[in-house]
Each structure stands twice: as structure tokens, then as C-alpha cells.
Amino acid sequence: MMSFAHPWLLTLLPLALWLGWHLRVGAPAAFSRPPITLRHPILARLNLAHTQTASTPRLWLPLVAALLILAAAQPQSEGGWLPPIGEGRDILLLIDTSPSMAIQDMALDNKTVPRMDILKHAAQGFIERRTNDRLGMIVFSDHAATIIPLTHDHAAVQALLARLSSGNTGAATAIGEGLGVALRQIEANPTRPPVLVLFSDGDNTGGILRPREALAYAEHLGLHLYSVAVTPDAAQPAAQADGLREPSLSEMSELTGGRAYQAGDASSLQRILSDIDQREAAHTPPPSERAKIEWYPLPLGLALLLLALGQWFELRGGSR
């Protein structure tokens, strides 16, 4: 179905036709030229001086004016449905950078590499798949810090992930501190809580904020925590100094309605991140907008062609 982007311009068609009709004989200077007079002494004696004028009516001018108005109104038709843009999610990656993440006991491409290398290799692919999401990254060992806040700049997230190393910020594993930093970010925008994906190879062994304290607030906010144990062996959580046992990674995920995983090698970690990717898929609304096919080049091209042909015929007639 044909429509116009600027239909009000069509009201100028009668005026354009009227002007074109009245200019068909007395055209502007651009389409006319002064009389051509041939002067020569011999021709003067023979009385053969000849003058030509461009007096042929320009009947094509009204049509050119109408075509220009039609092109300016921008005729267009509907094409196919445009693919909708998925509604992105907010995802915070919490990464353990304690010295134990440097242990070389996991396989990648038939080589034994540190746990951190396995994590970085799999997380890069996860980031690439989350096209429309905002991603942020928090690291923790003795303390926790935000490496990059939630952002659509995935290249920056990947660059910072590639530069991570283990053991530079302490020897403990302060999971509670990492959760606390994440919760402080979430407090700034509680209407859109992000998904938390926590990577660690052990349980909480340091920090002031205990995981059970952070989890109580996470449950209040309705957060889902996906925990990934990046280790071939699962260790039992140890009791703290006050005699109370901190929840394990799997118990933390269960308390928040998330899911716990254990990755023993690169392939299993990739499968885990693919599962999280599917569970937290971006919502894609049904298509609601069609592509617009523009037709204004057709009347515009015809108008220019008529102008060129009209001028060409005038020049031919004037050269005879």
C-alpha cells in the first residue's frame, strides 16, 4: 500500500501545474537563450542575415513541476517486518582472583592450564553472546572491587577480563565482600535487578561481610545467583571463627532461586555458561514495525530526465 511521508505537500500540486503551464512559453533564464544572429559582410550584401529564437512551447514543464512535488512528498510502501531488538538484561560477573585460581589442574586444548585461564576463555564467549545486555565485573580476594560497572561496552569488559590475574590482591576468598559490592550497585537501581554470576573455586575464607548476611539482603531484592565452582573437586564448607558454617556456593544459589554448577574442565564450563545464557535469555517482543521502501527516486529521476530531454530538443531546434 502506497503512502506519503509528507502528504501535505500534495496540496501544492495545483499550484505547481499552474506555474508550469504559465511558464511553458516564457521559461526562466536557465531554459532560454538570447536570439542568435549571424553577421557577416557577405551575408549582409546578400541580405541573408538570419535570426533564430527559442519560442517553442515547453509543454513538459507542468509535468516536471508535478513530479518534483510528488518526489518531495516522499512516496513509500511497506516492506517486510523488521526484526525486533531484544530487551537486554543486566548481568554482573563476580570473579574470584584468590591465589588458588592460579592452580594448574584443568585442561584446555589438551594442555594443563590455571583455573583462571579456563574461566577467562569461557567467559569471553559468554560476553560475545550477550549482544543487547549491560555487563559489569567485580573481583574479590581479600577485598572486593568493581573493575567495570554495568555497561554496553562489551569490548571494554573483554579487555579487562583478559588482564585479570590471580593472587595480586590477597590470599583469601571474600565471597561475602564481592556480594556486598554487587548489592551496593543494585541499590542504585532496584527496579532493574541484575543477574549475578559468581565464579569461585572455594568457599568464603575472609572479608568482613559474611555471605549469609549478604544473601539475606539478596533474597529481599529478589536476586537470582548463579554460582560456578571452577575446580575439579568440590570441598565442603568450613566452619567460621564464630562456629557458624557459611553457606556453600550451591546453597547460596538455592537460597536465591538460582542454580549451582561445577566446572571440572573447559568444555564443562562452556556448557554451564550456555545453560545460563538460555535461562536468562533476553526477551524479544513480537515484530511491530515494517520496513519502508522509498519510491521518491522514481519521480525525481523522471523529472530530471524530462528537463534534460527538453533542453536537448531546444538545443537541437536552435542549431538548425
CATH number at residue 131: 3.40.50.410
Q: Is residue 219 part of a domain?
A: yes
Give the 3-state secondary structure of residue 75. strand
Question: Are 275 and 299 within one domain?
Answer: no
Question: Are 70 and 116 within one domain?
Answer: no
User: Who has greater pLDDT, 313 or 106?
Assistant: 106
Q: Is residue 234 part of a domain?
A: yes
Give the 3-state secondary structure of residue 196. strand
**pLDDT-based confidence at 251, cuts 50/70/90?**
confident
**For residue 201, which of 159, 242, 229 has the smallest C-alpha distance?**
229
Question: Are 143 and 68 within one domain?
Answer: no
> Which residue type, as a one-letter code, is found at position 297?
P
Q: Is residue 229 part of a domain?
A: yes
Question: Are 135 and 256 within one domain?
Answer: yes
> Which residue type, as a one-letter code, is found at position 225?
L
Residue 137 has pLDDT above 70, yes or no: yes
Order the strands of the 75-81 sheet from edge to edge.
2-4, 75-81, 290-294
- Count of CB atoms situated within 10 Å of the CB of 219: 13
Question: Are 62 and 156 within one domain?
Answer: no
Q: Is residue 284 part of a domain?
A: no
Question: Are 70 and 140 within one domain?
Answer: no
Q: Is residue 153 part of a domain?
A: yes
Count the domains in the chain.
Answer: 2
Residue 153 has pLDDT above 90, yes or no: yes
Question: Are 96 and 236 within one domain?
Answer: yes
Q: Is residue 230 part of a domain?
A: yes
Q: Is pTM beyond 0.85 here?
A: no
CA distance 259 to 237: 18
pLDDT in tens, 179-197: 989 888 887 666 677 889 9
Residue 138 has pLDDT above 70, yes or no: yes
Question: Are 128 and 255 within one domain?
Answer: yes
**pLDDT-based confidence at 48, cuts 50/70/90?**
very low
Question: Are 95 and 181 within one domain?
Answer: yes
Question: Are 152 and 266 within one domain?
Answer: yes
DSSP letters spanning 277-317: HHHTPPB-PPP--EEEEE-THHHHHHHHHHHHHHHHHHHHH
Q: Is residue 25 part of a domain?
A: yes
Question: Are 97 and 233 within one domain?
Answer: yes
The vertex-179 CA angle with 87 and 126, nearest 5°, equals 40
Q: Which domain holds residue 166?
A: 90-279
Q: Tell me, what's the pLDDT at 201?
A: 86
Question: Are 95 and 77 within one domain?
Answer: no
Q: Is residue 309 part of a domain?
A: yes
